[in-house]
Chains A and B, each alone.
Chain A
Amino acid sequence: MRNFSKLLSTVVLIGFATTASAQLVDEKDVTITLDMQPVLELEMTTPNQIEFVFDEIGEYQAGITQYGATILKVSATVNWDLYAVGRSDTGNRFWSQQVSYGATSNSVADLPLSLLELRQSQQNNGGTAGTSIVDYSSAFATNQSGASGNNSLFVNDDGSGTPPALDNKYIAGHAGTTGIGDTMSAGTYLNNSGTTSDFYYVMDYRIMPKLPATFPNAFEADSTTSESLTSGIAATGFEYAEGGVYTMYVQYILLEDQ
Protein backbone atom coordinates (compact mmCIF):
# COMPACT_ATOMS: atom_id res chain seq x y z
CA MET A 1 0.00 0.00 0.00
CA ARG A 2 2.92 2.36 0.76
CA ASN A 3 4.36 1.73 -2.68
CA PHE A 4 1.00 2.39 -4.20
CA SER A 5 0.77 5.78 -2.44
CA LYS A 6 4.23 6.74 -3.66
CA LEU A 7 3.34 5.84 -7.19
CA LEU A 8 0.13 7.82 -6.97
CA SER A 9 1.93 10.89 -5.62
CA THR A 10 4.50 10.71 -8.39
CA VAL A 11 1.86 10.57 -11.08
CA VAL A 12 0.03 13.54 -9.55
CA LEU A 13 3.23 15.60 -9.37
CA ILE A 14 4.12 14.82 -12.95
CA GLY A 15 0.62 15.84 -13.88
CA PHE A 16 0.96 19.22 -12.21
CA ALA A 17 4.33 19.82 -13.73
CA THR A 18 3.02 19.06 -17.15
CA THR A 19 -0.05 21.19 -16.85
CA ALA A 20 2.03 24.16 -15.63
CA SER A 21 3.57 24.55 -19.06
CA ALA A 22 0.58 23.89 -21.11
CA GLN A 23 -0.49 27.43 -22.03
CA LEU A 24 -0.26 28.82 -25.54
CA VAL A 25 2.94 30.69 -26.34
CA ASP A 26 4.41 32.58 -29.27
CA GLU A 27 7.80 34.30 -29.46
CA LYS A 28 9.72 36.76 -31.59
CA ASP A 29 13.37 37.86 -31.37
CA VAL A 30 15.35 41.03 -31.86
CA THR A 31 19.06 40.43 -32.31
CA ILE A 32 21.31 43.31 -31.38
CA THR A 33 24.83 43.78 -32.71
CA LEU A 34 27.08 46.22 -30.93
CA ASP A 35 30.09 47.40 -32.92
CA MET A 36 32.31 49.64 -30.81
CA GLN A 37 35.21 50.83 -32.91
CA PRO A 38 38.14 52.46 -31.12
CA VAL A 39 38.28 56.20 -31.74
CA LEU A 40 41.35 58.34 -31.10
CA GLU A 41 41.12 62.02 -31.99
CA LEU A 42 43.94 64.51 -31.58
CA GLU A 43 42.87 68.04 -32.28
CA MET A 44 45.74 70.45 -32.70
CA THR A 45 45.77 74.24 -32.92
CA THR A 46 49.13 75.47 -34.14
CA PRO A 47 50.70 77.66 -36.81
CA ASN A 48 52.08 75.86 -39.82
CA GLN A 49 55.55 77.19 -39.12
CA ILE A 50 57.10 78.20 -35.83
CA GLU A 51 60.10 80.37 -36.50
CA PHE A 52 63.07 81.03 -34.26
CA VAL A 53 65.18 83.80 -35.72
CA PHE A 54 68.41 84.48 -33.82
CA ASP A 55 69.75 87.81 -34.92
CA GLU A 56 70.64 89.43 -31.59
CA ILE A 57 73.11 88.49 -28.91
CA GLY A 58 70.42 88.55 -26.24
CA GLU A 59 68.40 85.96 -28.12
CA TYR A 60 71.36 83.61 -28.25
CA GLN A 61 71.94 84.03 -24.54
CA ALA A 62 68.38 83.90 -23.24
CA GLY A 63 66.91 81.85 -26.02
CA ILE A 64 63.59 82.40 -27.77
CA THR A 65 60.41 80.99 -26.28
CA GLN A 66 57.17 80.58 -28.21
CA TYR A 67 54.50 80.39 -25.54
CA GLY A 68 51.30 78.48 -26.22
CA ALA A 69 52.27 77.87 -29.82
CA THR A 70 50.47 74.55 -29.93
CA ILE A 71 47.32 73.41 -28.17
CA LEU A 72 46.59 69.68 -28.07
CA LYS A 73 43.10 68.35 -27.35
CA VAL A 74 42.48 64.66 -26.92
CA SER A 75 39.32 62.60 -27.30
CA ALA A 76 39.64 58.85 -26.95
CA THR A 77 37.28 55.97 -26.42
CA VAL A 78 40.13 53.74 -25.28
CA ASN A 79 43.07 54.17 -22.93
CA TRP A 80 45.79 56.18 -24.61
CA ASP A 81 49.31 57.63 -24.61
CA LEU A 82 50.50 60.87 -26.17
CA TYR A 83 54.07 61.67 -27.04
CA ALA A 84 56.09 64.06 -29.14
CA VAL A 85 58.99 63.01 -31.30
CA GLY A 86 61.45 65.17 -33.19
CA ARG A 87 61.99 64.36 -36.85
CA SER A 88 63.47 65.93 -39.96
CA ASP A 89 63.95 65.38 -43.64
CA THR A 90 67.43 64.05 -43.06
CA GLY A 91 66.05 60.80 -41.75
CA ASN A 92 68.32 60.84 -38.73
CA ARG A 93 68.58 62.72 -35.43
CA PHE A 94 69.70 66.09 -36.88
CA TRP A 95 68.00 69.18 -38.20
CA SER A 96 67.80 69.56 -41.94
CA GLN A 97 70.01 72.40 -43.10
CA GLN A 98 68.25 74.39 -45.83
CA VAL A 99 70.75 77.24 -46.21
CA SER A 100 74.29 77.65 -44.91
CA TYR A 101 75.59 81.11 -44.10
CA GLY A 102 79.10 79.83 -44.40
CA ALA A 103 80.94 76.84 -43.04
CA THR A 104 84.11 77.33 -41.06
CA SER A 105 86.60 74.92 -39.67
CA ASN A 106 84.96 75.12 -36.25
CA SER A 107 81.31 75.00 -37.22
CA VAL A 108 79.01 72.06 -37.36
CA ALA A 109 75.88 71.74 -39.46
CA ASP A 110 74.52 68.67 -37.67
CA LEU A 111 72.36 70.25 -35.02
CA PRO A 112 70.64 67.68 -32.79
CA LEU A 113 66.84 67.69 -32.91
CA SER A 114 66.78 67.52 -29.14
CA LEU A 115 67.96 71.13 -28.87
CA LEU A 116 64.32 72.07 -29.16
CA GLU A 117 62.75 72.23 -25.73
CA LEU A 118 59.07 71.66 -24.95
CA ARG A 119 57.02 72.59 -21.95
CA GLN A 120 53.53 71.20 -21.40
CA SER A 121 50.90 73.01 -19.32
CA GLN A 122 49.66 69.93 -17.48
CA GLN A 123 51.86 67.37 -15.83
CA ASN A 124 51.66 63.79 -17.02
CA ASN A 125 49.23 62.08 -14.63
CA GLY A 126 49.64 58.68 -16.23
CA GLY A 127 53.39 58.30 -16.33
CA THR A 128 54.54 57.00 -12.95
CA ALA A 129 55.92 53.91 -14.65
CA GLY A 130 58.61 56.07 -16.21
CA THR A 131 62.11 55.64 -14.85
CA SER A 132 63.57 59.03 -15.76
CA ILE A 133 62.06 62.41 -16.61
CA VAL A 134 58.51 61.35 -17.52
CA ASP A 135 57.21 64.49 -19.23
CA TYR A 136 57.87 68.08 -20.30
CA SER A 137 56.11 69.78 -17.40
CA SER A 138 59.22 71.27 -15.76
CA ALA A 139 59.80 74.98 -16.10
CA PHE A 140 62.44 75.90 -18.65
CA ALA A 141 65.89 76.10 -17.05
CA THR A 142 67.34 79.59 -17.04
CA ASN A 143 70.58 80.54 -18.70
CA GLN A 144 72.35 80.65 -15.35
CA SER A 145 71.03 77.39 -13.98
CA GLY A 146 73.18 75.23 -16.19
CA ALA A 147 72.39 72.53 -18.70
CA SER A 148 69.17 70.63 -18.19
CA GLY A 149 67.59 67.75 -20.07
CA ASN A 150 64.22 68.18 -18.41
CA ASN A 151 62.61 69.68 -21.49
CA SER A 152 64.68 68.40 -24.39
CA LEU A 153 62.59 66.92 -27.16
CA PHE A 154 62.46 63.13 -27.43
CA VAL A 155 64.23 61.87 -30.56
CA ASN A 156 64.90 58.35 -31.78
CA ASP A 157 68.44 57.55 -32.82
CA ASP A 158 67.22 56.49 -36.25
CA GLY A 159 64.95 59.51 -36.62
CA SER A 160 61.81 57.36 -36.64
CA GLY A 161 58.52 57.87 -34.84
CA THR A 162 58.94 54.85 -32.59
CA PRO A 163 57.32 55.39 -29.16
CA PRO A 164 59.58 56.43 -26.27
CA ALA A 165 60.87 53.84 -23.82
CA LEU A 166 60.45 53.76 -20.06
CA ASP A 167 63.34 56.19 -19.51
CA ASN A 168 62.07 58.65 -22.12
CA LYS A 169 59.50 61.42 -22.03
CA TYR A 170 55.81 61.24 -22.83
CA ILE A 171 53.30 64.06 -22.70
CA ALA A 172 50.67 61.75 -21.23
CA GLY A 173 50.78 58.06 -20.32
CA HIS A 174 53.92 56.01 -20.69
CA ALA A 175 55.53 52.93 -22.20
CA GLY A 176 53.86 49.59 -21.45
CA THR A 177 50.33 48.25 -21.34
CA THR A 178 50.07 47.13 -17.74
CA GLY A 179 47.44 49.75 -17.01
CA ILE A 180 49.35 50.84 -13.90
CA GLY A 181 51.10 54.18 -14.23
CA ASP A 182 51.53 53.84 -17.98
CA THR A 183 48.21 54.90 -19.46
CA MET A 184 45.61 57.62 -19.60
CA SER A 185 41.94 56.75 -19.22
CA ALA A 186 39.50 57.21 -22.07
CA GLY A 187 37.57 60.45 -22.23
CA THR A 188 37.44 63.80 -23.92
CA TYR A 189 38.50 67.38 -23.31
CA LEU A 190 34.89 68.36 -24.05
CA ASN A 191 33.57 67.27 -20.67
CA ASN A 192 36.71 67.15 -18.54
CA SER A 193 37.27 70.52 -16.89
CA GLY A 194 38.51 72.30 -19.99
CA THR A 195 42.03 73.67 -19.85
CA THR A 196 43.04 71.94 -16.61
CA SER A 197 42.14 68.44 -17.68
CA ASP A 198 44.34 65.54 -18.71
CA PHE A 199 42.91 65.88 -22.20
CA TYR A 200 44.14 69.42 -22.90
CA TYR A 201 47.77 70.49 -23.23
CA VAL A 202 49.25 73.85 -24.13
CA MET A 203 52.77 73.45 -25.48
CA ASP A 204 55.55 76.04 -25.26
CA TYR A 205 58.69 75.81 -27.39
CA ARG A 206 62.14 77.14 -26.65
CA ILE A 207 65.54 77.12 -28.27
CA MET A 208 68.50 78.46 -26.28
CA PRO A 209 71.77 78.33 -28.24
CA LYS A 210 73.91 80.31 -25.78
CA LEU A 211 77.23 81.69 -26.89
CA PRO A 212 78.99 80.14 -28.56
CA ALA A 213 75.96 78.37 -30.01
CA THR A 214 76.38 74.90 -28.55
CA PHE A 215 72.83 74.20 -27.35
CA PRO A 216 73.64 72.96 -23.86
CA ASN A 217 70.06 71.81 -23.20
CA ALA A 218 70.14 69.25 -25.98
CA PHE A 219 69.99 65.82 -24.39
CA GLU A 220 69.48 62.30 -25.59
CA ALA A 221 66.18 60.50 -25.08
CA ASP A 222 67.16 59.42 -21.57
CA SER A 223 67.34 63.10 -20.53
CA THR A 224 70.72 62.53 -18.87
CA THR A 225 73.23 62.20 -21.72
CA SER A 226 74.18 65.54 -23.24
CA GLU A 227 73.93 66.12 -26.96
CA SER A 228 75.29 69.64 -26.96
CA LEU A 229 77.72 70.41 -29.73
CA THR A 230 80.59 70.13 -27.28
CA SER A 231 79.62 66.64 -26.22
CA GLY A 232 81.23 64.99 -29.19
CA ILE A 233 78.20 63.85 -31.17
CA ALA A 234 79.48 65.65 -34.24
CA ALA A 235 82.94 65.55 -35.73
CA THR A 236 85.51 66.01 -33.01
CA GLY A 237 86.72 69.57 -32.65
CA PHE A 238 83.68 71.23 -34.11
CA GLU A 239 82.15 73.12 -31.25
CA TYR A 240 79.45 75.52 -32.38
CA ALA A 241 76.58 75.73 -34.76
CA GLU A 242 77.05 76.74 -38.33
CA GLY A 243 75.03 79.79 -39.25
CA GLY A 244 72.14 78.99 -41.54
CA VAL A 245 68.49 78.07 -41.90
CA TYR A 246 67.43 74.76 -40.42
CA THR A 247 64.10 72.97 -40.35
CA MET A 248 62.64 70.07 -38.46
CA TYR A 249 59.20 69.01 -37.31
CA VAL A 250 57.60 67.78 -34.14
CA GLN A 251 55.28 64.85 -34.57
CA TYR A 252 52.59 64.42 -31.93
CA ILE A 253 51.38 60.85 -31.76
CA LEU A 254 48.27 59.65 -29.94
CA LEU A 255 48.12 55.89 -29.62
CA GLU A 256 45.89 53.28 -28.06
CA ASP A 257 47.23 51.80 -24.84
CA GLN A 258 45.15 48.83 -23.82
Chain B
Amino acid sequence: MTLKKAYYQIIVISLLLISTLTYSQVHCGTVELQSSATVDANFTFTDFSKYNAGITILSVARLRVKVENKDPIDLDCSWKLRMFIENNSGAGTAADKWEEITLYGNGNADQPSISDLEVRVNNNCGTPLNTSFRSFTDVNDILNIIEEMLPQVIVPAGSCTASGTKNVNGPGSYLTNYNEYSFDVDLRFKPGFTYNPGVYKLNIRFRLEEVN
Protein backbone atom coordinates (compact mmCIF):
# COMPACT_ATOMS: atom_id res chain seq x y z
CA MET B 1 0.00 0.00 0.00
CA THR B 2 1.41 3.35 -0.98
CA LEU B 3 1.36 6.34 1.31
CA LYS B 4 -1.01 8.13 -0.99
CA LYS B 5 -3.55 5.33 -0.83
CA ALA B 6 -3.32 5.23 2.91
CA TYR B 7 -4.14 8.91 3.21
CA TYR B 8 -7.03 8.46 0.87
CA GLN B 9 -8.47 5.73 3.05
CA ILE B 10 -8.09 7.89 6.16
CA ILE B 11 -10.02 10.71 4.54
CA VAL B 12 -12.81 8.37 3.54
CA ILE B 13 -13.10 6.89 7.04
CA SER B 14 -13.10 10.35 8.59
CA LEU B 15 -15.92 11.45 6.35
CA LEU B 16 -17.86 8.35 7.31
CA LEU B 17 -17.43 9.17 11.01
CA ILE B 18 -18.53 12.74 10.51
CA SER B 19 -21.55 11.43 8.71
CA THR B 20 -22.29 9.15 11.66
CA LEU B 21 -21.89 12.03 14.04
CA THR B 22 -24.34 14.10 12.10
CA TYR B 23 -27.15 11.63 11.74
CA SER B 24 -26.97 8.36 13.61
CA GLN B 25 -27.04 9.64 17.22
CA VAL B 26 -29.89 12.13 16.95
CA HIS B 27 -33.27 10.48 17.04
CA CYS B 28 -35.41 13.43 18.10
CA GLY B 29 -36.06 16.72 16.34
CA THR B 30 -35.86 18.99 19.38
CA VAL B 31 -35.73 18.68 23.14
CA GLU B 32 -36.75 21.69 25.19
CA LEU B 33 -36.88 22.24 28.93
CA GLN B 34 -38.80 25.29 30.04
CA SER B 35 -39.31 26.89 33.40
CA SER B 36 -40.35 30.24 34.73
CA ALA B 37 -37.52 32.76 34.71
CA THR B 38 -34.37 31.94 36.63
CA VAL B 39 -35.45 30.31 39.84
CA ASP B 40 -34.03 31.29 43.23
CA ALA B 41 -35.12 29.47 46.34
CA ASN B 42 -34.37 31.08 49.69
CA PHE B 43 -34.25 29.14 52.92
CA THR B 44 -34.07 31.74 55.68
CA PHE B 45 -33.86 30.46 59.23
CA THR B 46 -34.62 33.28 61.64
CA ASP B 47 -36.35 31.62 64.56
CA PHE B 48 -36.06 28.49 66.54
CA SER B 49 -39.18 26.77 65.30
CA LYS B 50 -37.86 26.92 61.74
CA TYR B 51 -34.61 25.32 62.80
CA ASN B 52 -36.52 22.66 64.66
CA ALA B 53 -39.12 21.87 62.01
CA GLY B 54 -37.21 22.74 58.85
CA ILE B 55 -38.53 24.67 55.87
CA THR B 56 -40.34 23.14 52.91
CA ILE B 57 -40.82 25.12 49.72
CA LEU B 58 -43.40 23.55 47.45
CA SER B 59 -43.37 24.12 43.70
CA VAL B 60 -40.22 26.18 43.80
CA ALA B 61 -39.99 25.50 40.09
CA ARG B 62 -42.23 24.00 37.44
CA LEU B 63 -40.38 22.28 34.62
CA ARG B 64 -42.05 21.80 31.28
CA VAL B 65 -40.79 19.30 28.77
CA LYS B 66 -41.27 19.46 25.05
CA VAL B 67 -39.70 16.75 22.88
CA GLU B 68 -40.50 16.69 19.19
CA ASN B 69 -39.80 13.79 16.90
CA LYS B 70 -38.06 14.13 13.60
CA ASP B 71 -39.78 14.17 10.29
CA PRO B 72 -39.97 11.43 9.17
CA ILE B 73 -40.62 9.90 12.59
CA ASP B 74 -37.78 8.10 14.31
CA LEU B 75 -39.08 5.28 16.47
CA ASP B 76 -36.04 5.53 18.77
CA CYS B 77 -36.74 9.08 19.93
CA SER B 78 -36.95 9.15 23.73
CA TRP B 79 -35.59 11.30 26.56
CA LYS B 80 -34.44 11.31 30.11
CA LEU B 81 -34.52 13.98 32.80
CA ARG B 82 -31.90 14.12 35.53
CA MET B 83 -30.73 16.35 38.38
CA PHE B 84 -27.18 17.43 39.14
CA ILE B 85 -25.94 19.40 42.13
CA GLU B 86 -23.25 22.08 42.04
CA ASN B 87 -21.47 23.81 44.91
CA ASN B 88 -18.72 25.75 43.16
CA SER B 89 -16.29 23.00 44.01
CA GLY B 90 -13.67 24.65 41.83
CA ALA B 91 -13.34 27.31 44.52
CA GLY B 92 -12.40 24.72 47.10
CA THR B 93 -15.78 23.71 48.51
CA ALA B 94 -15.74 20.15 49.82
CA ALA B 95 -17.72 17.73 47.64
CA ASP B 96 -20.39 17.10 50.26
CA LYS B 97 -20.84 20.66 51.59
CA TRP B 98 -22.73 23.80 50.64
CA GLU B 99 -20.72 26.66 49.19
CA GLU B 100 -19.99 29.18 51.93
CA ILE B 101 -20.83 32.78 51.11
CA THR B 102 -20.43 34.29 54.55
CA LEU B 103 -20.31 33.19 58.19
CA TYR B 104 -22.14 34.77 61.14
CA GLY B 105 -19.72 33.36 63.72
CA ASN B 106 -16.16 32.16 63.95
CA GLY B 107 -16.93 28.98 62.02
CA ASN B 108 -15.85 26.48 64.64
CA ALA B 109 -18.78 24.19 63.94
CA ASP B 110 -19.54 22.18 60.78
CA GLN B 111 -20.55 23.48 57.39
CA PRO B 112 -24.00 22.35 56.21
CA SER B 113 -24.07 19.13 54.22
CA ILE B 114 -25.52 18.74 50.77
CA SER B 115 -27.29 15.60 51.94
CA ASP B 116 -29.52 17.66 54.24
CA LEU B 117 -31.21 19.25 51.25
CA GLU B 118 -34.12 17.15 50.04
CA VAL B 119 -35.66 17.37 46.60
CA ARG B 120 -38.91 15.95 45.34
CA VAL B 121 -39.93 16.03 41.68
CA ASN B 122 -43.36 14.85 40.66
CA ASN B 123 -46.15 15.52 38.20
CA ASN B 124 -49.88 14.97 38.15
CA CYS B 125 -49.46 11.51 36.68
CA GLY B 126 -46.67 10.49 38.99
CA THR B 127 -44.50 9.39 36.08
CA PRO B 128 -41.13 9.78 37.85
CA LEU B 129 -40.01 6.42 39.20
CA ASN B 130 -39.25 8.03 42.55
CA THR B 131 -41.75 10.63 43.76
CA SER B 132 -40.57 10.97 47.34
CA PHE B 133 -38.10 13.41 48.87
CA ARG B 134 -34.53 12.42 48.03
CA SER B 135 -31.14 13.90 48.68
CA PHE B 136 -27.77 14.12 46.97
CA THR B 137 -24.83 12.58 48.77
CA ASP B 138 -22.35 14.96 47.15
CA VAL B 139 -21.66 16.80 43.90
CA ASN B 140 -20.88 13.55 42.11
CA ASP B 141 -24.35 12.21 42.77
CA ILE B 142 -26.94 12.27 39.97
CA LEU B 143 -30.65 11.78 40.64
CA ASN B 144 -32.89 10.47 37.88
CA ILE B 145 -36.36 11.83 37.35
CA ILE B 146 -37.19 10.10 34.08
CA GLU B 147 -34.66 7.35 33.59
CA GLU B 148 -32.95 5.78 30.64
CA MET B 149 -34.10 2.16 30.63
CA LEU B 150 -31.76 -0.67 29.68
CA PRO B 151 -32.77 -2.22 27.41
CA GLN B 152 -34.45 0.83 26.04
CA VAL B 153 -38.19 1.03 26.68
CA ILE B 154 -40.11 3.91 25.20
CA VAL B 155 -43.31 4.80 27.03
CA PRO B 156 -45.34 6.99 24.69
CA ALA B 157 -47.16 10.17 25.58
CA GLY B 158 -50.69 9.57 26.79
CA SER B 159 -49.83 6.37 28.63
CA CYS B 160 -50.75 8.07 31.86
CA THR B 161 -54.39 7.17 31.29
CA ALA B 162 -53.43 3.64 32.20
CA SER B 163 -53.22 4.05 35.93
CA GLY B 164 -49.78 3.74 37.39
CA THR B 165 -47.79 4.04 34.21
CA LYS B 166 -44.31 5.32 35.00
CA ASN B 167 -41.41 6.82 33.14
CA VAL B 168 -43.23 8.32 30.16
CA ASN B 169 -40.34 9.17 27.87
CA GLY B 170 -41.59 9.27 24.32
CA PRO B 171 -41.93 12.38 22.18
CA GLY B 172 -44.58 14.74 23.49
CA SER B 173 -45.22 18.10 25.04
CA TYR B 174 -46.65 19.74 28.12
CA LEU B 175 -49.00 21.51 25.73
CA THR B 176 -50.79 18.29 24.79
CA ASN B 177 -49.99 16.01 27.75
CA TYR B 178 -49.55 18.44 30.61
CA ASN B 179 -49.80 15.86 33.37
CA GLU B 180 -46.92 13.81 31.98
CA TYR B 181 -44.63 16.50 30.64
CA SER B 182 -44.63 19.03 33.45
CA PHE B 183 -42.88 18.53 36.77
CA ASP B 184 -43.16 20.29 40.10
CA VAL B 185 -39.98 20.68 42.14
CA ASP B 186 -40.28 20.76 45.93
CA LEU B 187 -37.42 21.47 48.30
CA ARG B 188 -37.02 20.77 51.99
CA PHE B 189 -34.19 21.60 54.37
CA LYS B 190 -33.91 20.82 58.06
CA PRO B 191 -30.59 22.05 59.41
CA GLY B 192 -30.74 20.97 63.03
CA PHE B 193 -28.38 22.74 65.42
CA THR B 194 -24.94 21.53 64.44
CA TYR B 195 -23.99 23.84 61.60
CA ASN B 196 -22.23 27.17 61.44
CA PRO B 197 -24.69 30.02 61.01
CA GLY B 198 -24.09 31.83 57.76
CA VAL B 199 -25.14 32.17 54.14
CA TYR B 200 -24.58 29.29 51.74
CA LYS B 201 -25.45 28.42 48.18
CA LEU B 202 -26.14 25.42 45.98
CA ASN B 203 -27.33 25.02 42.43
CA ILE B 204 -29.50 22.21 41.12
CA ARG B 205 -29.20 21.66 37.39
CA PHE B 206 -32.02 19.87 35.60
CA ARG B 207 -30.88 18.28 32.36
CA LEU B 208 -33.24 17.06 29.68
CA GLU B 209 -31.40 14.75 27.34
CA GLU B 210 -32.22 12.71 24.33
CA VAL B 211 -31.56 9.00 24.82
CA ASN B 212 -29.37 7.42 22.18
Contacts and interface: CB of A to CB of B under 8 A. Distances in A.
Interface of A: 1, 4, 7-8, 11-12, 14-15, 18-20, 22-39, 41, 75-79, 177, 179, 185-188, 190-191, 256, 258
17 contacts: A12-B17, A15-B21, A23-B212, A25-B209, A27-B206, A27-B208, A28-B63, A28-B206, A29-B204, A29-B205, A34-B43, A34-B112, A34-B201, A39-B47, A77-B193, A177-B108, A256-B105
A27 B109 contact: no
Interface of B: 1, 6, 9-10, 13-14, 17, 20-21, 24-26, 28, 30-35, 38-48, 51-52, 60-61, 63, 98, 101, 104-106, 108-109, 112, 117, 185, 187, 189, 191, 193-212
A39 B117 contact: no
Going nearest first, the 3 A-B pairs with the smallest beta carbon separation are: A186-B193, A15-B17, A23-B210
Contacts of A34: 43, 45, 98, 112, 189, 191, 199-202
Specify the main secondary structure of chain A where it touches its partner: mixed
Contact of A30 (B43, B104, B185, B191): B185
Contacts of B41: 30-33
Given A8-B10, A76-B193, A185-B193, A31 B207 contact: no
Given A31-B204, A37-B104, 20 more contacts: A14-B17, A15-B17, A26-B31, A27-B205, A27-B208, A28-B205, A30-B60, A30-B203, A30-B206, A31-B40, A31-B201, A32-B201, A32-B203, A36-B195, A38-B104, A77-B48, A77-B193, A78-B197, A177-B108, A258-B106
Nearest to B52: A188
A250 B43 CA distance: 38
Given A31-B39, A33-B199, A36-B197, A24 B28 contact: yes
Contacts of B20: 15, 19
Nearest to A187: B193
Contacts of B34: 28
A78 B42 CA distance: 21
Contacts of A28: 33-35, 39, 61, 63, 205-206
Contacts of A188: 48, 52, 193
Contact of B30 (A14, A24, A186): A24
A24 to B, nearest CB: 4
B206 A22 contact: no
A35 B46 CA distance: 8
Contact of A25 (B6, B187, B191, B208): B208
Most chain B CB atoms below 10 A, which of A11, A36, A38, A258: A36
A28 B32 CA distance: 10
A17 to B, nearest CB: 10
B105 A36 contact: no
Contacts of B207: 25-27
Contacts of A22: 21, 25-26, 212
B25 A33 contact: no
Nearest to B80: A23
Contacts of B189: 34
Contact of A177 (B48, B106, B195, B201): B106
A76 B136 CA distance: 28
A222 B35 CA distance: 65
A107 to B, nearest CB: 49
A115 to B, nearest CB: 36
Contacts of B43: 32-35
B134 to A, nearest CB: 15
A26 B200 CA distance: 27
B204 A37 contact: no
Contacts of B21: 15, 18-19, 22
B124 to A, nearest CB: 19
A41 B51 CA distance: 13
B42 A35 contact: yes
A35 B44 contact: yes
A32 B135 CA distance: 14
A31 B48 CA distance: 25
A188 B52 CA distance: 9
